[in-house]
Amino acid sequence: MSEQNTFEAHAVAWQPLPEVIERAQLTKFMAQTGAQNFAEVYAKSIESPEEFTKNVLDFLKIEFNPPYEKLLDTSDGIEWAKWCVGGGLNITEMCVDRWANDETTANQPAIIREGEEGEAKTVSYKELLAQIEYCAAGLRANGLQKGDAIGIHLPMMIETVVALLAVNRIGAIAVPVFSGYGVDAIASRMNAVEAKSLITCDGFFRRGKAVNALQTALQAVTRCKFIERVFVVEESRGDFEEEFQKRRLAKTAKPEEKLSKAVIYQDDNEHTEADLKLIFSVWEDLIEEGRNYLSEAVSDYVSAEPTLAEDPLIILYTSGTTGKPKGIAHTHCGFPVKAAQDMAFGTDVGQGTRISWVTDIGWMMGPWLIYGALINGATICIYDGAPDYPNADRMWEFCAKHRIEILGISPTLVRSLATKGDDLPKRHDLSALRAFASTGEPWNPAPWWWLFETVGNSELPIINYSGGTEISGGILMGNPLLPIKPCSFPAPCPGIDVAILDEQGNQVEKGKVGELSIRKPWIGMARGFWQEPERYIDTYWSRFDNIWVHGDWALQDADGHFYILGRSDDTLKVAGKRVGPAEVESLLVAHPLVSEAAVIGVPDEIKGTAMIAFCVLNGEQTSLIELRTELKQLVAKDMGKPLAPSKIIFVSALPKTRNAKVMRRVIRSAYLGEDAGDLSALENPDAVKEIAEAAKG
């Protein structure tokens, strides 16, 4: 990384007021544990991870039946740490049952969901529990059971929450995939986990246009070796009636019988060989089967399947920065507990809090939102649709309408909304908002300040959050007790023993750049990659003994604030100096005509590595020759001439995953004409072709 620290000049932008500190969940945790301030909370959490974790479990009121025998077991090595060993825990009971069965919270909203068409629906905790029970019983009636992998291919809707928790409730393993994934992306993930079933929908709307999710799912499941049952939520049946009726099947198997291989269409008898193993059901039929199953008082029925705390709960796929997607394995006591902890301590979510996050079930923040909010007894507020459709102020309208308190929003979306006009947030009553939160990508200063000043009136904190799917949430995170600098992370998450290390594994001084690492186990750590233990060890545990190396460059400034400076495997060495792409990209997007930028390194005979920058313009007309010169001078002024890009290429879009992560390895491969590897996670594969063509010009 460049030794120049571009963040040192940043001053504190937000200070917590006494009333914010007083009401904070973190303050309540401090009172429970006897800590005097956040520094003491954090120090105790890394000195004694077991005691801290026990306190977190007590704070969240997580109950085990039977009690766990050992809180932490590292007998197989720190890499394979087990938590709450021997404890009985089906996390769905902590998410829903305790609130639904308490008369003071039974009728509290658990979910508020609004679609693009503007129609909103609210489900109470009591109603949510009933839906989960019916769905779980329906899954059992269809032969699905503990240990089975079940795919979830849905947009963010109430049925998505029900499906996730119903799968978990029967002890099965949920495998969410992005609602907008293509055939290959879905099929490859379902085959990797040997999924027995897929829950999908007929379609959904984006910018007023119907997206035929059913057609994609149908093509995918015919390539899946193990899927035998497909359940279809009729979200947009009117738009896909013909397709749906062709595929709808009359099932012949009774609940207690083995899966039928017969396929009977309602309108004809045409079928393919691949269809022969598939049985399709509509969601309403699944729920009705569950009702009947429960009313028949099946002898072996149990409300929530008895599961152990370390039983597998969910496999979350992440694209990573290199290679094929990784299936991250998590347990009942892992991902949900860490999510709930971070949500409570970082974003200050407690019972009744209304939290919204612009996300999808296929990104870790979808399950994070569901588990974290429900464990805390909060209300999940879901907007499913384009956040600037049909009007550019749709996001702010949604927040005002539903009195959102915590809004999770990405820097990419903020950059887009900022171009729509400063007056749009002012049109709506956003007085319920208490904080913004953000994760998934680094901030640039300009959009950060726009959100803070224009939308938040310089009064609301932006809780920056960084970690990953493998972490179950955060390594670094702001919180209501600490001052915030623009784009910074004020502290590590409690319980995460953070270190910034040099190439030899030694702690670097403040102001120096190093590898973001973790030195002790935490409850949310991945239980490996699904059926790829060697790859898991090689990816995170091979650099230094007993230390997790996350793959991010980071630094801590003199005041203790942290900054993420990009992926360490993206680091460039130009003219003998290490440079992080994020540093150069931040300078490029500071230009008013540049909305996005990505920087890669390519072989160069003189410099060793030449820096190539790809920029997306905001649409205004300008002389590209003059703009290239301006941008090179902009970087050279800040970082020196040797570190200015050798070439700047203007493109219409950058290749991104569906959680807005720019795929630099794909850009580099396309530019060099090399095999870019797995592209199934990309939202916009056409951007790769444009870069390849630009390289020829």
- DSSP structural state of residue 68: P
Task: With a cut of 60, say whether residue 193 has pLDDT above it.
Answer: yes
Q: Predicted confidence band at 257 (pLDDT cuts at 50, 70, 90)?
A: very low
What b/e string do you get for 542-572 counting C-beta neighbours within 10 Å, with b at 16 or more? ebbeebbbbbbbbbbbeeebbbbbbbbebbb
Q: How far apart are CA 624 and CA 279, in angstroms?
A: 56
Q: How far apart are CA 232 and CA 280, in angstroms?
A: 7
Strands (E), 177-262: 197-201, 204-206, 209-211, 229-233
Mean pLDDT of the chain: 88
**Per-residue model confidence (pLDDT) at position 587:** 85
Q: How far apart are CA 72 and CA 32, in angstroms?
A: 22
Task: With a cut of 50, say whether residue 182 has pLDDT above it.
Answer: yes
Q: Predicted confidence band at 266 (pLDDT cuts at 50, 70, 90)?
A: very low
- The domain 18-89+330-566 is placed in CATH, from the list 3.40.50.2000, 3.40.50.12780, 1.10.530.10, 3.10.100.10, at 3.40.50.12780
Largest CA distance in the chain: 78
Q: Where in the chain is the domain with CATH 3.40.50.980?
A: 129-295
Range of lowest pLDDT (173-177, 243-247, 495-499, 627-631): 243-247
- The domain 569-696 is placed in CATH, from the list 2.40.50.140, 3.40.1370.10, 3.40.50.300, 3.30.300.30, at 3.30.300.30
Task: With a cut of 60, say whether residue 681 has pLDDT above it.
Answer: yes
Taking only the tens place, the pLDDT of each residue in 204-226 is: 888 888 888 888 998 999 899 89
Task: With a cut of 50, say whether residue 241 has pLDDT above it.
Answer: no
Q: Where in the chain is the domain with CATH 3.30.300.30?
A: 569-696
Q: Where in the chain is the domain with CATH 3.40.50.12780?
A: 18-89+330-566
Which neighbouring-strand residues pair with 380? 111, 355
Q: Predicted confidence band at 638 (pLDDT cuts at 50, 70, 90)?
A: confident
**Per-residue model confidence (pLDDT) at position 619:** 74
Q: How far apart are CA 125 and CA 99, in angstroms?
A: 6
SS3 345: helix
We find that the CATH architecture of domain 129-295 is: 3-Layer(aba) Sandwich (3.40)
**pTM as predicted:** 0.84
Taking only the tens place, the pLDDT of each residue in 439-492 is: 977 788 889 999 999 999 999 999 999 999 999 999 999 999 999 999 999 999
Short-list 441, 365, 440, CA closest to 176: 365
Taking only the tens place, the pLDDT of each residue in 547-600 is: 999 988 899 999 999 998 877 766 676 765 667 687 788 889 889 899 889 998
Give the H/E segment covering residue 111: strand 109-115
Residue 268 has a CB neighbour count (10 Å cut-off) of 8
**Per-residue model confidence (pLDDT) at position 573:** 66
